[in-house]
Structure 1
Amino acid sequence: MRHPFLSIAAAALVAAPLLIASPAPAQAAGLDWQPCPDDAALDCATLSVPLNWAEPDGERIELSLVRREGSSKAGDKLGTLVYGPGGPGGSGVADLKSDPIFQDPVYQHYDVVSYDSRGIGESSPIRCETDNFVRDWPTTRREFRRQLWKNRAYMADCRKRTGPVYDHVDTRSDVRDLDTIRAALGEDKLNYYGVSYGTLRGQQYAEMFPERVGRLILDSTMDHSIDNAWDFMRTETGLREEMFGIFVERCAERQECALHGRDIEALTDRLYERAERGELTDPEEPGRKLDEIGLALSMENLVLGRQWPKLADHLLALEQQADRQLRTASVQEVGNDPSKPIWCNDWNYRVHTFAEAEYLTRRLAKEAPNVRFSSYDYWAVACLGWPRKPVNQPHELELSEEVPPILIANARFDPATVYPWAQAVAEQSGMPLLTYDGGGHGMYFVDSCSREYMHEYLLTGKTPPDGTHCPAQEGPATRSAEPALPMPPSLTEGFASAMR
């Protein structure tokens, strides 16, 4: 899963309507491709787009684009494939420069183009003092007030350093930029592969420009119909609870488990009680005290990675440890930090009071008593102090009959874009869902079986039958001997990296 705010004084604005008729075809001059200064094997270009699409003749900004040309002959070429990175805040330019992204079957028939969306990387980047980025879930009223104050200060700092583009980073604006890129490329239809947060751009392109959709893949997909913090947190954390249940079953079956024969759920209850009293520290970082949420997060990667022996050892070490002292550190830095304004313009996750935050915490502990929290749950409080409703209002995906078949792919145990989201998007759109029965994020890079189906779709337009499953395995998938691919930076850094 690369994978930020407005002026405090800004008045609350009325949210944009959910759906609009397809805008007139984008008008854009052709792109002046030149060898990239840092990599002559790639071509770079810039494209001017309106800062505010509500004022198309007003101020403009420049988008940075990169192209990796395919090897196909003219007669074999199927056009251009646009790559949409993860995030929010992933750089398509950085991803394509760091790795070819796709395998030969794609480059034999497509040029691949990507870009930095507005506010990201080389496209009018949002600048913030990242040391003030709030990364905590408030557990007391005092923490809530402090976090609200810091969030507002952070927003004001970002807005001051960045300028007016800070107010106009949302996926609907990005989609209009994307259609301008399509026109500048000279393509009648958009062929698009979006992964993780990039799938939201793909979904909304199909809504806004149905007649311009070519071949479109949604790999590890967002569900924009989730319009409240509870459903977001419940679905993210529910996956971890399900996987913890698998751990309990495995430990009961295998004598080599360090907790074999123990009541593991009772043990976790006792550990959460000790964490609430301030009696636990992280075995991996002995100076760092663990509260209840810290305890939950200390287990998360072991649960998601199905590292059952290490998880058992971790719980045992927590049970046996003595208390230690807390160690803290802080590093100031100013950098490109677009994730918060994109998130708060796209989603309606708003926590207004400490009572709401406390209610969500307690309800989540009842819903998922063993894991209780997910690192992604932080996003529910990312918009504390955000002064307006999302301009890109959450809603169910509504596609017209003009939209050709779209391919949706997701892992059953995806840690970021959880499987119920993909099921919901498939149901809303009426499009087929390809399922990998294992874990991981970004199926093109994780599972060669899924990747082969994607190649077939990109080359022929044929989607697999709805309900197709690729089996989970330790090694390569059964449909292909190809190994997993290196993931681009926007995925390796993770969908939640900005909240660490």
Structure 2
Amino acid sequence: MTAGALQWAPCDAPGNPGAECATLTVPVDWADPDGPTLGLAVARRQATGPGTRVGSMVFGPGGPGDSGVERVVAGISRFSPEVRRRFDIVSFDPRGVGRSNPVTCSGDLLAQRPSPQLASQADFDATVAYNKRLRADCRARTGPVFDHLDTLQTVRDLDALRAAIGEAELTFHGSSYGTLLGAEYAETYPHRVRAMVLESVMDHSVATTREFLRSEAIAAQDSFDEFAKWCAGDSTCVLHDRDVRTVWHGLLIRARQGELEDPAKPGTRLSSADLVNKIAFRKFYTADYAGLAKAIAGMASSGPLPASPTSVSPLPPSTPVFCTDWRLPVHDHRQYASLVDTMNRTAPDLPFLLAIQMTAACLGAPTANPQGPLAARGAPPILVSNALHDPATGYPWAVSVARQLGRSGALLTYEGRGHGSVTRGPCMEDAVDGYLTDLAMPPRGTRCPAVAS
């Protein structure tokens, strides 16, 4: 792959001019480089200060399932003005996502997903059988790339992209699930890294299903606790004079009974799992506590719908990407029930978090890239950034990844809330900008104060 491999042209994006798009051809299976190929959708925005341009920086999107192309086309506001001035920002849709041979499955079959609330061994067996049927359907509709979706394949795609944009060394910013891509790139090609920011960090060394689920539950519950603490102490919270947990648990009861209306879809019922993951958890991502309080107050004051069973929302088609990267075995219903109990005791305010739903969705799936300790020997300094109160990638994961990187890892702590932190105030921006542009690593142990959301 060479720089000439990419033919840039303006993206078809009315209202968002300036982005350029291209297609990078890569093998479906890097173990068979002369075999079938697929086209990876790529996009870039050129540096706004060409006279001070450092080079290209590749953004690794999260999810799994986020489109890097859409992020670039939309304007890359997640990066500071200094980074946008000094770097071409390049991203891509990972294989199986967006415009890069997306995973395609039967909509009807996706809508039949069993509830993660498995009450018996028969329910457990039915879920395993459903997963097998869904994988066969998705494979038939998606094509051969379906069997090659793991992050180690995407690492090879990323290295091909590095070469195609003409960079001898990679400058990379990975966010959330994109940090797994960055970490495994540094492990595979440590001497091809110029600079790397891992923001909101996945810890792929978490070895067991119980450890994974418990750590996810701890992070989510911490965000609920922060929300409740904020509401009790801030008179602008619309629930300031009420017990937030009491109101919230009232909504959970109504949702379990099928009586809670979805505020986004009048007349339809909101399940307890969707109340947790689509209402609360999404607000935790941006630390929009005021917005969450308003949403809770609005639902609490709404009239009940006639009691009726609620449906389970389909998981994203990109779920197979997660399944191929995480080996989370559950042997039977008894063990599954024990795991659910562990999560509910760890996060009593947030039953059936997405993590247990993903675990159920991966039952019986093969894992090409299972967890293991990170060893990026020979890599240059890598900046690991995390909020202290991150609902999805808890702070202990960032501490663990920085420790695994050893001399190569430096942890930058944002003492605030939310998922994502690198532009939260001048302290964070200056530390990240100085590292990316001048390779000036902030002092070890740097902590930046929280700023108002």
2:4 is matched with which residue: 20, 26, 30?
30
1:252 and 1:260 in contact (8 A); partners too = yes
Q: Give the equivalent residue in structure 2 for 1:100.
A: 76
TM superposition shift of 1:447: 4.4
TM superposition shift of 1:53: 1.3
Q: Give the equivalent residue in structure 2 for 1:375.
A: 354
1:115 is matched with which residue: 92, 95, 101?
92
Distance 1:30 1:135, change over 3 A: farther
TM superposition shift of 1:258: 6.0
Q: Give the equivalent residue in structure 2 for 1:50.
A: 27
d(CA) in 1 for partners of 2:383, 2:329: 32
d(CA) in 2 for partners of 1:279, 1:72: 57
d(CA) in 2 for partners of 1:211, 1:331: 43
Superposition RMSD in Å: 3.5
1:63 is matched with which residue: 40, 58, 61?
40
1:205 is matched with which residue: 168, 175, 185?
185
1:193 is matched with which residue: 145, 151, 173?
173
Tell me, yes or no, if structure 1 residue 366 matches structure 2 residue 345.
Answer: yes
Query: Partner letter of residue 38 of structure 1?
Result: D
**Residues 13-28 of structure 1: matches in 2 within 5 Å?**
27-28=1-2
2:22 and 2:41 in contact (8 A); partners too = yes
* Structure 2: segments with no counterpart, 5+ residues: none
Q: Give the equivalent residue in structure 2 for 1:325.
A: 307
Q: Give the equivalent residue in structure 2 for 1:465.
A: 443
Query: Partner letter of residue 157 of structure 2?
Result: D
2:56 and 2:90 in contact (8 A); partners too = yes
1:237 is matched with which residue: 203, 211, 217?
217
d(CA) in 2 for partners of 1:295, 1:92: 28
2:129 is matched with which residue: 128, 131, 149?
149
Secondary structure at the counterpart of residue 64 of structure 1: strand
Query: Partner letter of residue 176 of structure 1?
Result: R
Secondary structure at the counterpart of residue 366 of structure 1: helix
1:128 and 1:337 in contact (8 A); partners too = no
TM superposition shift of 1:237: 1.4
Distance 1:81 1:249, change over 3 A: closer
Secondary structure at the counterpart of residue 282 of structure 1: coil
TM superposition shift of 1:449: 3.3
d(CA) in 2 for partners of 1:309, 1:58: 54
Secondary structure at the counterpart of residue 426 of structure 1: helix
TM superposition shift of 1:37: 5.0
Aligned residues: 436
Secondary structure at the counterpart of residue 175 of structure 2: strand
Query: Partner letter of residue 422 of structure 1?
Result: A
Q: Give the equivalent residue in structure 2 for 1:5.
A: none
Mean Cα displacement is larger for which, 460-469 or 298-307? 298-307
**Residues 117-132 of structure 1: matches in 2 within 5 Å?**
117-132=94-109
Mean Cα displacement is larger for which, 219-228 or 436-445? 436-445
Query: Partner letter of residue 30 of structure 1?
Result: G
d(CA) in 2 for partners of 1:300, 1:124: 29
1:232 and 1:377 in contact (8 A); partners too = no
Q: Give the equivalent residue in structure 2 for 1:451.
A: 429
TM superposition shift of 1:301: 5.5
Q: Give the equivalent residue in structure 2 for 1:426.
A: 402
Q: Give the equivalent residue in structure 2 for 1:6.
A: none
Query: Partner letter of residue 76 of structure 2?
Result: P
Q: Give the equivalent residue in structure 1 for 2:66.
A: 90
For residues 123-163 of structure 1, give each alpha carbon's deviation from its aligned partner in whole angstroms, at most 9, with x where no partner exists: 22222124433374133225434433332221111100111
d(CA) in 2 for partners of 1:226, 1:337: 23
Tell me, yes or no, if structure 1 residue 414 matches structure 2 residue 390.
Answer: yes
Distance 1:124 1:70, change over 3 A: same
1:138 and 1:144 in contact (8 A); partners too = no
Distance 1:311 1:370, change over 3 A: farther
d(CA) in 2 for partners of 1:176, 1:211: 15
For residues 35-59 of structure 1, give each alpha carbon's deviation from its aligned partner in whole angstroms, at most 9, with x where no partner exists: 2351573333222222211122222
2:195 is matched with which residue: 209, 215, 219?
215
* Structure 1: segments with no counterpart, 5+ residues: 1-26, 476-500
1:80 and 1:112 in contact (8 A); partners too = yes
d(CA) in 1 for partners of 2:3, 2:233: 65
**Residues 272-287 of structure 1: matches in 2 within 5 Å?**
279=257, 281-282=259-260
d(CA) in 2 for partners of 1:258, 1:110: 44
Tell me, yes or no, if structure 1 residue 288 matches structure 2 residue 266.
Answer: no
Query: Partner letter of residue 197 of structure 1?
Result: Y
d(CA) in 1 for partners of 2:223, 2:48: 43
Distance 1:338 1:259, change over 3 A: closer
1:288 and 1:325 in contact (8 A); partners too = no
For residues 85-104 of structure 1, give each alpha carbon's deviation from its aligned partner in whole angstroms, at most 9, with x where no partner exists: 11112221121112134343
Tell me, yes or no, if structure 1 residue 349 matches structure 2 residue 362.
Answer: no
2:414 and 2:447 in contact (8 A); partners too = yes
d(CA) in 2 for partners of 1:37, 1:312: 40
Secondary structure at the counterpart of residue 407 of structure 1: strand
Secondary structure at the counterpart of residue 19 of structure 2: strand
d(CA) in 2 for partners of 1:87, 1:449: 27
Distance 1:37 1:363, change over 3 A: closer
TM superposition shift of 1:239: 2.5
Q: Give the equivalent residue in structure 2 for 1:160.
A: 140
Query: Partner letter of residue 165 of structure 1?
Result: V
TM superposition shift of 1:448: 4.6
Distance 1:175 1:136, change over 3 A: same
Secondary structure at the counterpart of residue 33 of structure 2: coil
